[in-house]
Amino acid sequence: MNKENFGKRVFMSLFGVIICAISVGIFKIAALGVDPFQSFMAGLDALVPIGFGTLYVIANAVLLLFALIFDRHYIGIATFINLFLLGYITQFTFEYLQTVIVNPSIAVRVLCLVIGVVIICFGSAFYMTADLGVSTYDAVALIICNTWKKGKFQYVRIATDIVCVITGCLLFLASGGSFSAIPTIAGIGTVITAFFMGPLIEFFNVHIARPMLNKK
């Protein structure tokens, strides 16, 4: 990997993480469910009285320790960009959008969900194409299936996603949240991000991210 290529990969990782973080803030405004790991983080955020950005760093530091112990080759520059930036950018985006989009109607929330899905797929394409390490959460499923040989990745990932969603909902309820409010953290947006984002990510990979990386 030459210096120009490496610099471009770092830029793409940084850009991808920033875009994904902004999308999570938009998902939170939509309040129709977030991706499985963010469902867990939403439940934890409701229970633990510290800022989301700091909480995200702490939670991912625990997962990072897991990855460093069992298989550190999944950890790279992009892992640390994700760990230290995503939570704080998400927190800033959400807090800013709350001042702009006040008491959104269901139509506005659905629009935010659609925008959030498109943006997170766009950002993920850059992050994945850069190939400079995965997020600490992604590393968990990869270690279970590739290092421990405990099943195929798609099934292991579904299992870890389900654990995240259930744990997030339980933490949310433990914080005093109501059953009727659970769809705000584990709703239709969660289903979409868990099962239907692949084709859109691949579209952005093929038409934007990979051509950008390979362009001289």
- Asked whether the whole model's pTM tops 0.85, one would answer yes
The closest alpha carbon to 112, from 30, 184, 200, 189, belongs to 30
Angle subtended by helix axes 106-130 and 188-195, to nearest 10: 20
| Token code pair at residue 188 | 């239709």
If you average pLDDT over residues 5-21, what whole number do you get? Answer: 95
pLDDT reported for residue 34: 95
Residue 22 near residue 89 (C-beta atoms within 8 A): yes
Distance (Å, rounded) from C-alpha 133 to C-alpha 115?
A: 26
Distance (Å, rounded) from C-alpha 197 to C-alpha 187?
A: 15
Residue 42 near residue 185 (C-beta atoms within 8 A): yes
One-letter amino acid for residue 35 of the chain: D
| pLDDT, tens digit, 9 for 90 and up, residues 163-198 | 999 999 999 999 999 999 999 999 999 999 988 898
In the chain, where are the structural domains located? Answer: 3-214
| pLDDT, tens digit, 9 for 90 and up, residues 126-169 | 999 999 999 999 999 999 999 999 988 889 999 999 999 999 99
If you average pLDDT over residues 1-25, what whole number do you get? Answer: 90
- Higher local confidence (pLDDT), 214 or 109: 109
pLDDT reported for residue 96: 97
pLDDT reported for residue 2: 61
The closest alpha carbon to 21, from 39, 38, 46, belongs to 38
